[in-house]
């Protein structure tokens, strides 16, 4: 999706209006002049300091394990990937998350291979049509976060990261859904590292999602719907009865990788797993949300039309999005690697039969 379609995408993503993003200090949802531990001053993501769930000695022990692992990264990834995966599932300690994410997604390797390219890209003027759309979208990205209030330094960094990507990958250019991902990454790392993480996520994990036509997203929507039949027949039958195409409810989830959907702690845990295990984590989160939102007949009876169904999917029950509950349900899902591969191949054949040509990359083996 290039810049020419970006504002129709904003409507699909159910984004915040310009009035909401105009000034955080004028917004009624601001509840504090002191940011919370994640930098939010207000809005739905604001959360006061909570009681430490994990004992400090456990966190310290995990930090030491991660440092040892990061210092021997290639060895662990080639010989003991399962250990890396298990530690990601437990949650990466905040103190090492930057290094871990960079190594997990391949951003560190890209940076090492291209040490000065980011600075060269931000020095270039860029394509005017992309530049204009990027500027229009800056204020919409986490307007309640201290980094992205009006004229805050984060907005300029966000502009540079998105512009640099639009120059590096001119075929994709700029897609609106990349902006919240770039902003999310900037909250956790300097701009140059955030840029290379964005490149890795956009070009490897989400390959084909940001291209014109959204064929890859539609294909993955069909895969999601087929997997839902195994996970929650009740939700599957309800959505099929209402003839709801997956693209109607999964666009924001997949394109923004839940950065605009889940509570903040849950986003962090999900990204720890996503960068390690790949795009199947996006599917698994969607399956948990669909099952938790529409998995009981007592709920579906309250959704007689598509309107009610969309409302509940845009606002899933808070208890199923809570960090530990979400991770538990993700790991509990009875969906195997073979199930993903089978549905992927089946959809490829279906699309070929329709004379469509979605990206044929196999994301279940390429990550």
pLDDT of residue 4: 37
pLDDT of residue 14: 45
Q: Model-level pTM?
A: 0.87
pLDDT of residue 36: 80
- Within 8 A by CB and 6+ apart from 5, the residues are 212
pLDDT of residue 7: 36
Q: What is the pLDDT of residues 166-192, one digit of tens each?
A: 999 999 999 999 999 999 999 999 999
Q: Is the pLDDT confidence value at 164 over 60?
A: yes
Q: Where are the domains of the chain?
A: 10-20+113-205, 52-90, 212-366
CATH hierarchy code of domain 10-20+113-205:
1.10.8.270
For tokens 């070929």, what's the residue?
Answer: 352
Q: What is the pLDDT of residues 200-255, one digit of tens each?
A: 999 999 999 998 778 899 999 999 999 999 999 999 999 999 999 999 999 999 99
CATH hierarchy code of domain 212-366:
1.10.472.80
**Rounded average pLDDT over 45-74:** 86
Q: Is the pLDDT confidence value at 367 over 70?
A: no
Q: What is the band of 363 on the pLDDT scale with cuts at 50, 70, 90? A: low
Q: Is the pLDDT confidence value at 21 over 50?
A: no
Q: Is the pLDDT confidence value at 29 over 70?
A: no
Query: Which residue has better confidence, 10 or 303?
Result: 303
Which pair of tokens denotes residue 2?
């290039």
Report the DSSP beta bridge partners of residue 40.
Answer: 145
Report the DSSP beta bridge partners of residue 42.
Answer: 30
- Within 8 A by CB and 6+ apart from 351, the residues are 215, 219, 357, 358
- Within 8 A by CB and 6+ apart from 21, the residues are 139, 140, 143
For tokens 């600075």, what's the residue?
Answer: 119
Q: For residue 290, with 0-12 CB atoms within 10 Å meaning exposed, 13-18 middle and 19 or more buried, which class applies?
A: buried
Q: For residue 230, with 0-12 CB atoms within 10 Å meaning exposed, 13-18 middle and 19 or more buried, which class applies?
A: middle
Q: For residue 203, with 0-12 CB atoms within 10 Å meaning exposed, 13-18 middle and 19 or more buried, which class applies?
A: middle
Q: Is the pLDDT confidence value at 45 over 90?
A: no
Q: In this structure, are residues 283 and 223 in contact, taking their beta carbons and an 8 Å threshold?
A: yes
Q: Is the pLDDT confidence value at 356 over 70?
A: no
pLDDT of residue 54: 80
pLDDT of residue 18: 36
Q: What percent of the chain has pLDDT over 90?
A: 72
DSSP string, 271-312: HHHHHHH-THHHHHHHHHHHHHHHSSHHHHTT--SHHHHHHH
Query: Which residue has better confidence, 3 or 155?
Result: 155
For tokens 């839940």, what's the residue?
Answer: 258
Q: In this structure, are residues 174 and 166 in contact, taking their beta carbons and an 8 Å threshold?
A: yes
| Nearest alpha carbon to residue 94 among 142, 144, 39 | 39
d(CA 10, CA 174): 13
Q: Report the SS3 class of residue 145.
A: strand
Q: In this structure, are residues 234 and 301 in contact, taking their beta carbons and an 8 Å threshold?
A: no
Q: What is the band of 107 on the pLDDT scale with cuts at 50, 70, 90? A: very high
Query: Which residue has better confidence, 80 or 5?
Result: 80
- Within 8 A by CB and 6+ apart from 352, the residues are none
Q: What is the band of 321 on the pLDDT scale with cuts at 50, 70, 90? A: very high
pLDDT of residue 51: 57
Greatest CA span in the chain, whole angstroms? Answer: 58
Range from 40-49, 229-238, 251-260 carrying the lowest mean pLDDT: 40-49
Q: Is the pLDDT confidence value at 52 over 70?
A: no
d(CA 194, CA 290): 31
Neighbours of 218 (CB within 10 A): 18
Q: What percent of the chain has pLDDT over 70?
A: 87
Query: Which residue has better confidence, 36 or 66?
Result: 66
């Amino acid at each position: 999706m290039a810049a020419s379609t970006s504002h129709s995408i904003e409507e699909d993503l159910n984004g915040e209006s310009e009035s909401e993003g105009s000034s955080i200090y004028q917004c009624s949802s601001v509840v504090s002049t002191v940011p919370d531990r994640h930098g939010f001053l207000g809005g739905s993501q604001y959360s006061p300091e909570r009681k430490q769930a994990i004992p400090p000695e456990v966190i310290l022990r995990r930090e030491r394990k991660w440092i040892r692992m990061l210092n021997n990264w290639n060895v662990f990834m080639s010989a003991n990937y399962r250990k890396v995966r298990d530690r990601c599932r437990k949650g990466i300690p905040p103190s090492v998350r930057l290094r871990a994410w960079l190594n997990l997604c391949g951003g560190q390797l890209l940076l090492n291979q291209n040490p000065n390219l980011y600075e060269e890209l931000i020095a270039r003027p860029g394509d005017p049509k992309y530049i204009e759309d990027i500027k229009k979208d800056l204020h919409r990205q986490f307007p309640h976060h201290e980094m992205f209030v009006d004229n805050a330094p984060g907005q300029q960094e966000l502009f540079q990261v998105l512009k640099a990507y639009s120059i590096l990958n001119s075929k994709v250019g700029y897609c609106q859904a990349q902006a919240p991902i770039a902003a999310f990454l900037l909250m956790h790392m300097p701009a140059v590292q955030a840029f290379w993480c964005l490149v890795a996520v956009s070009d490897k994990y989400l390959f084909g999602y940001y291209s014109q036509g959204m064929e890859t997203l539609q294909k993955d929507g069909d895969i999601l719907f087929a997997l839902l039949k195994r996970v929650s027949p009740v939700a599957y039958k309800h959505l099929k009865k209402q003839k709801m195409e997956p693209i109607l409810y999964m666009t924001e989830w997949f394109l923004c990788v839940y950065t605009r959907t889940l509570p903040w702690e849950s986003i962090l845990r999900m990204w720890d797993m996503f960068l390690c295990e790949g795009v199947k984590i996006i599917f698994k989160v969607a399956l948990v949300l669909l099952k938790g939102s529409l998995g009981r007949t007592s709920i579906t009876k309250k959704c007689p039309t598509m309107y009610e169904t969309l409302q509940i999917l845009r606002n899933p029950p808070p208890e199923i999005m809570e960090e530990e509950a979400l991770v538990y349900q993700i790991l509990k899902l009875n969906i195997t690697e073979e199930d993903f591969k089978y549905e992927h191949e089946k959809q490829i054949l279906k699309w070929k039969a329709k004379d469509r040509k979605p990206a044929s990359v196999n994301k279940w083996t390429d990550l």
